[in-house]
Amino acid sequence: MDQTLKEKHANGITKEKAMEFGIPNHWENCPKIGKIIQGIFLPFKTPLSDAYDDLLEDATKFYPQEIFDNTFEGVKDGAKVKLWINLSNTERYYGWKAVTSNDCQYVHIPLRGHNETPSEEETKKFIGIVNDFVKEYPNDIVAVHCTHGFNRTGFLIASYLIQTMKWNVEKAVKEFAEARPNGIYKEDYLKDLCQRFDSPDSFEAPGLPVWHNIVDGISEMGLEDKPKRNPRFNNANIRGVHFIDDPEKQEALLKHLQKLLQPFSSMNLEASNKFSGSQPVLMNKQNICLLSSHPYKVTWKAYGTRYLIYIKVENEIYAVDCDNNVFQLPLKFPKKDSLDEHISETVIEVDMITEKNIVNERIWYNNKMFIYDIIIHEGEEIGKKSYQERYFAINQFLTSPRSQAIKKRLSEKESIYVFRKTIYNISKSEFILGPGFCETTKHVDSLIFQPSEEPYTCESNTNLLE
């Protein structure tokens, strides 16, 4: 399974795919490379392959090869970058052969980022990999990046300095900030570092760095005639989709959604203010045994975006992304036994993807929503039932009534196609990653192993494996 994924990502994505995905937010003006830390670490932002060239000015292009062509201060004579750790939650930014062709080991530890700090397990894995490398190559360099090379990268490098070199949290945080100004700038990352290492220190986050407040080369700070660009649903301009830019309305919707989902979480969702949707953990040598001791189904993880969808009433359907941005969607969900009425107080979890189609030189894009889970239906907490029951409920209450309404011409054509995401018996894992399925589905990234008899769980779910 791993080898299939490695070969798939060896040379990076195509130019067409790069045009679909676009440049990561705030990437262009983010500083490329930091300074060497303790003769070991080189923090930097993710490079992008030449597939992205048409989206960038020459001055902002940043290829993997630049890391190997650079010379760095603070290293031993003859030191080379011999270990490259990718912490971003994707491998679409460049192909790993651009790293290994330089006689450098490539390791991918996918971390979600946003408001989710690296877990203790992910931190332990990072520290173990670096310790093993330092023992074998004490004079060489470990290059580490996430998307921007600040929060996830800083958190793990600081964790290494604290745990391996016995530094206190304050010293480790300052060391990273000197090498990569402003350092870790998200408050929840700093808070989690202190809590995890039992530090009495507390830090005030330095705030967003200047480069973070620049869009398309124009500063957003103090320029009233250059308003900040709103977030985009599925990173696309989709007919009928509107960003909720009223802070009071957005906050009210988020609080109500958090209240609806609170029965499915042991944490205080409103206090944490993190994305409330269910999040898988990475499969490893310890938890893979769950597949043989518990009943599981399998599906694919898409190259796309996960959203929580809150169906309040007709014409009030809202999508919430992992940054808690809220969008209003132009969709209809008729009732099962009364197609001229609309369901309400319903919460579902979906994957959104944009699919490119080419026929006879004609190009068009389809926006597809795959419903992965149903948590609440008309106020009923369906999420407390098994996933197998929830999977059937998706068809019963959502996709089947929509299909019936379309057949009876009770619904107009919409800008988003809606499907139930297919799950398979676990024996189909290899089939999903095979060339046939990947060529037809086009957006397969990895596998998700879903426990079939367990209830829904908000946030990190240790039994939901990726």
- Comparing CA positions, the residue from 196, 172, 208 lying closest to residue 117 is 196
On whether both 101 and 21 belong to a single domain, the answer is yes
| Half-sphere exposure of residue 319: CA atoms within 13 angstroms, side-chain side | 24
Residues 6+ apart with CB under 8 A from 272: 459
Q: Which contacts qualify for 245-251: CB closer than 8 Å, 24 or more apart? A: 249/326, 250/325, 250/326
Task: Say if residue 223's pLDDT is above 90.
Answer: no
On whether both 332 and 443 belong to a single domain, the answer is yes
**Six-digit token pair at 211?**
């480069």
On whether both 248 and 210 belong to a single domain, the answer is no
List the catalytic residue out of 82, 125, 171, 301: 301
Asked, for residue 219, whether it belongs to a domain, the answer is: no
**pLDDT for 114:** 66
**pLDDT confidence bin for 201, thresholds 50/70/90:** low
Domain containing residue 261: 242-465
On whether both 169 and 283 belong to a single domain, the answer is no
User: Greater confidence, 312 or 406?
Assistant: 312
Mean pLDDT of the 252-273 span: 88
On whether both 446 and 359 belong to a single domain, the answer is yes
On whether both 316 and 416 belong to a single domain, the answer is yes
Q: How far apart are CA 349 and CA 159, in angstroms?
A: 33
Tell me if 302 sits within 8 A of 367, measured CB to CB: no
On whether both 246 and 198 belong to a single domain, the answer is no
Task: Say if residue 329's pLDDT is above 50.
Answer: yes
Q: How far apart are CA 447 and CA 352, in angstroms?
A: 16
User: Greater confidence, 309 or 59?
Assistant: 309
Q: What residue spans of 216-371 are helical by DSSP H?
A: 247-261, 269-272, 290-293
**pLDDT for 125:** 95
- Comparing CA positions, the residue from 309, 355, 365 lying closest to residue 333 is 309
**pLDDT for 162:** 95
| Helical (H) or strand (E) element with 189 | helix 187-196
User: Whole-prediction pTM value?
Assistant: 0.60
Asked, for residue 229, whether it belongs to a domain, the answer is: no
**pLDDT confidence bin for 229, thresholds 50/70/90:** low
Residues 6+ apart with CB under 8 A from 360: none
Q: How far apart are CA 397 and CA 379, in angstroms?
A: 13
Asked, for residue 223, whether it belongs to a domain, the answer is: no
Task: Say if residue 213's pLDDT is above 70.
Answer: no
Average model confidence (pLDDT) across the chain? 87
82 classed as catalytic:
no
Asked, for residue 48, whether it belongs to a domain, the answer is: yes
On whether both 199 and 310 belong to a single domain, the answer is no
**Crossing angle (nearest 10°) for helices 151-163 and 169-179:** 130
Q: How far apart are CA 46 and CA 24, in angstroms?
A: 10
Task: Say if residue 293's pLDDT is above 80.
Answer: yes
Out of 28-32, 110-114, 191-195, pick the least confident.
Answer: 110-114
**pLDDT confidence bin for 2, thresholds 50/70/90:** very low
Mean pLDDT of the 269-286 span: 81
Number of domains in the chain: 2
User: Greater confidence, 305 or 404?
Assistant: 404
> Which residue in the block uniquely carries the two structure tokens 């060239």?
53
First-residue to last-residue Cα distance in the chain: 12
Q: How far apart are CA 65 and CA 140, in angstroms?
A: 17
**pLDDT for 50:** 93
Mean pLDDT of the 392-402 span: 96
CATH number at residue 140: 3.90.190.10
On whether both 247 and 208 belong to a single domain, the answer is no
Task: Say if residue 364's pLDDT is above 80.
Answer: no
- Comparing CA positions, the residue from 375, 305, 317, 377 lying closest to residue 346 is 377
Asked, for residue 312, whether it belongs to a domain, the answer is: yes
> Which residue in the block uniquely carries the two structure tokens 């649903």?
233
Q: Would you call the peptide bond into 182 cis, given omega within 30 degrees of 0 as the criterion?
A: yes
On whether both 247 and 139 belong to a single domain, the answer is no
301 classed as catalytic:
yes
Q: How far apart are CA 417 and CA 427, in angstroms?
A: 29
**Six-digit token pair at 131?**
């310790």
User: Greater confidence, 365 or 78?
Assistant: 78
On whether both 258 and 176 belong to a single domain, the answer is no
Task: Say if residue 176's pLDDT is above 90.
Answer: yes
Mean pLDDT of the 323-330 span: 92
Asked, for residue 117, whether it belongs to a domain, the answer is: yes
Asked, for residue 222, whether it belongs to a domain, the answer is: no
List the catalytic residue out of 30, 104, 146, 322: 146
User: Greater confidence, 433 or 92?
Assistant: 92
Mean pLDDT of the 355-368 span: 74
Asked, for residue 150, whether it belongs to a domain, the answer is: yes
Residues 6+ apart with CB under 8 A from 363: 356, 357
SS3 86: strand
CATH number at residue 435: 3.30.470.30
On whether both 154 and 266 belong to a single domain, the answer is no
How do residues 438-454 score in pLDDT, each as one tens digit? 767 767 778 899 999 99
